[in-house]
Structure 1
């Protein structure tokens, strides 16, 4: 069942032309690299075939990532939404970030680092070692591999948006913030880098925020007190999340149902257009 939650008018004219052109260019580069790798293999140049194949794989992954984050259709229904217990045993209504996108970040870093790791071996040929070249490639490889390491530490983590009776918790890829409901001034649908949800705070709001890492800041804390939720990062339909946040902002009497079966039922009703 496709979600029929009302798509905000502000998002209706979000152009996909540029990501579509970029996707087509990356697919073309992948096909060119794949053909070149096959030609090198047939002409007896295995190292050339290996390098072009690795770059072809990188182009393919980038094309997939563009399709996932910029060209993907709206997700179905309220399926991604779930009840979840927090650390203090309270129940919340959660919309998680995309696991595929999270995995994609790691795959891209590993694939981009692979040619440099192989280049280190080639540069350290026993007959003519090129120490400077090997050192430079090692630095580049380590920079790229630092992303999976940061992910393993949990500083770069799978994000989430959690709605509770007390407020909204937003864990981005590299930051976290919390805004109580009484500190919400308005909920906006903003057509910026794709569909975005801006939960703007009042002037005196108690806005709690923390940056988790300075490495690989895929998302940043806003300069102004607000929650900025990028629709492309969500596992589900951003229009449904926007409708839920807007509803509970406007109807404080319903917030007690967040984290309960009634909250899930309301989300399903919004997703079905009921």
Structure 2
């Protein structure tokens, strides 16, 4: 099955999915980007006038711009994602060894950077509030500021710790001869092919790829980090993958799952390069 990679967006878009390029997303991304630029300009002007509050605007500007870039990568480029990121992953566990469809690098970078930026933003205010509370412990405004900045700094710090401990990781879907392995940000799960009833699609803040699962056939869920209770956990015992997080067109994942569910004789190729080549070519329509 040799050939060039299929053009991005060449596979049929499921009827249950709305268009990824929607006016509300474009408007929101532009608004956040302008807010980031405005914060940057406002911070520079405020500091030039000797107003220390300009520091707050300067610290908030990178977060706004990062949010806009992440929104562009997640929303507006969904159909332009090609299949080059699909590869083969080796693992001692058979359920994790197969054809890998990773989550997007831009989204993962955002989730790595935002807690660091929160610490940079809230940390100095937390230290200042702590110092003020020590000298004036009965000041209500100082105590409120101390509580808010303390919670934000503490949560972001715990998030960074979980990143270093690899409890929060970049997600991926692995299609193997024995089943489907899903590693999300804070949990992972596995679904043997014989437990899959059917492949479905839905809409939940963007395209959703779903597997309907028959319980008691070897499938499992494992929550790795308790800092983030993801919405997909509500689908247990079924599988749900938000298309906005993938590095590929979500249509590729949907049609690949359908193809291997309907063609058990082809699942053996998921143990080697033939499976990767099939997805690269987009040859997953029954």
Do the structures match in fold with TM over 0.5?
A: yes
Q: CA deviation at 1:201?
A: 1.1
1:103 pairs, out of 97, 101, 109, with 109
CA apart distance, 1:112: 2.3
Distance 2:168 2:176 in 1: 23
SS at match of 2:50: coil
Give distance in 1, aligned partners of 2:283 and 2:40: 42
Of 211-220 and 49-58, more deviation after overlay is shown by 211-220
Change in CA separation of 1:8 and 1:261 when aligned onto 2, cut-off 3 Å: same
* Counterpart-to-counterpart distance in 1, 2:42 and 2:179: 55
3-state SS, counterpart of residue 10 of structure 1? coil
* Cα pair 1:4 1:271 within 8 Å, conserved: no
SS at match of 2:39: helix
Measured after TM superposition, the shift of residue 111 of structure 1 is 1.4
On the 8 A contact 2:129/2:146 being kept in 1, the answer is no
Shift of 1:219: 4.5
1:116 corresponds in structure 2 to: 122
The correspondence for 1:172, drawn from 181, 184, 208, is 184
1:263 to 275, 279, 282: 275
Structure 1 residue 205 displacement after superposition: 3.5
User: How far does the alpha carbon of each residue in 1:212-252 deviate from its partner, in whole angstroms, 9 at most, with x for none?
Assistant: 12212245423442110111111111111111110000011
Q: What residue is the counterpart of 1:24 in the other structure?
A: 30
- Contact 1:184 1:201 (8 Å CA) reproduced: yes
Q: Greater shift after overlay, 132-141 or 258-267?
A: 132-141
TM-score by length of 1: 0.88
Provide the C-alpha distance between the structure 2 equivalents of 1:130 and 1:120, rounded to a whole number of angstroms: 15
Deviation larger for 24-33 or 254-263: 24-33
Instruction: Identify the residue that residue 88 of structure 2 maps to in structure 1.
Output: 83
The yes-or-no answer on 1:60 pairing with 2:38 is no
Is the alpha carbon distance of 1:179 and 1:224 closer, same or farther for their aligned partners in structure 2, counting shifts above 3 Å?
same
Q: Is structure 2 residue 17 aligned with structure 1 residue 5?
A: no
Question: Separation in 1 of the partners of 2:280 and 2:235?
Answer: 34
Structure 1 residue ranges without an equivalent (≥5): none
- What does 1:145-184 correspond to in 2, within 5 Å? 145-184=157-196
TM-score by length of 2: 0.85
> Size of the alignment, in residue pairs?
272
Task: Please give the alpha-carbon distance, in whole angstroms, between the structure 2 residues aligned to 1:246 and 1:5.
Answer: 13
Q: Which runs of 5+ in 2 are unaligned?
A: 1-6
